[in-house]
Amino acid sequence: MRAFITGAAGFIGSTLAEPLLEDGADVVGLDSFTDYNPRPLKERNLAAARRHPQFRFVEARLQDTRQLRLSAVSLRYFTVYGPRQRPDMGFHQFLRATLLDEPITVYGDGEQTRDFTDVHHAVNATLAAAVHGVPGRVYNIGGGSRVSINQVLEMVERVSGRRPRVTVDPAQKGDMRHTYADIRLARTDLGFMPTVRLEDGLAAEHVWLAKTLR
């Protein structure tokens, strides 16, 4: 198999590259090192892939590469989290603030709910879609359940052993009250079934982030 990964130094892209390489794929990774994630963190994300002889990295923007006509399968990820998550994303911010005893801002009453996706579920779904996905279809990829922000903060306290310092601001205009991934099509076509409990995934991200901050 040959694979071309855009955003290969990022959170999901770098996590996707590793199982592909382990399965014997030839992987070309593309990344332009935009400033959503500091370059040293992205370089660290790439470290394992760069050591593999079947990985080639190209530093460039996608629009600088030759465009090909390809059949496409689309995946709609719902709030992906886990080790290597970008610093601007919610769980990274919650865990980092708790580790450093800094305040966490919650907008509204904290009872808004989201469907969260462990990064390994996102990777497994992507690999399955490459083989079994139906061209033109869009698959929702999520954890399969809704969890409130308040419940997430309770989990953060349990996995970190520290009580988060929470400040409350008014709800943001336009913020969705609830989101939920209907994963029935992904289950049927891709065999997708989330197995990692949210609290276990948060614990894995906490361990990774604690090591990163040392």
Q: For the segment 25-39, what is each residue's pLDDT rounded down to a tens digit?
A: 999 999 999 887 889
Q: Do 157 and 196 belong to one domain?
A: yes
Rounded Cα–Cα distance for residues 18 and 9 (Å):
11
Q: Do 122 and 27 belong to one domain?
A: no
Q: Do 190 and 139 belong to one domain?
A: yes
Q: For the segment 84-135, what is each residue's pLDDT rounded down to a tens digit?
A: 999 999 999 999 999 999 999 999 999 999 999 999 999 999 999 999 999 9
Whole-number pLDDT of residue 155: 98
DSSP one-letter string for 56-72: EEEES-GGGSPP-----
Local confidence band at 68 (pLDDT 50, 70, 90 cut-offs):
low
Q: Do 29 and 91 belong to one domain?
A: no
Q: Do 77 and 135 belong to one domain?
A: yes
Q: Note the pTM of the prediction, 2 decimals.
A: 0.90
Rounded Cα–Cα distance for residues 124 and 65 (Å):
26
Q: What is the CATH number of the domain that holds 42?
A: 3.40.50.720
The domain tally of the chain equals 2
Q: Do 59 and 85 belong to one domain?
A: no
Q: Which domain holds residue 4?
A: 1-70
What average pLDDT does range 172-186 have in this prediction? 92
Local confidence band at 63 (pLDDT 50, 70, 90 cut-offs):
confident
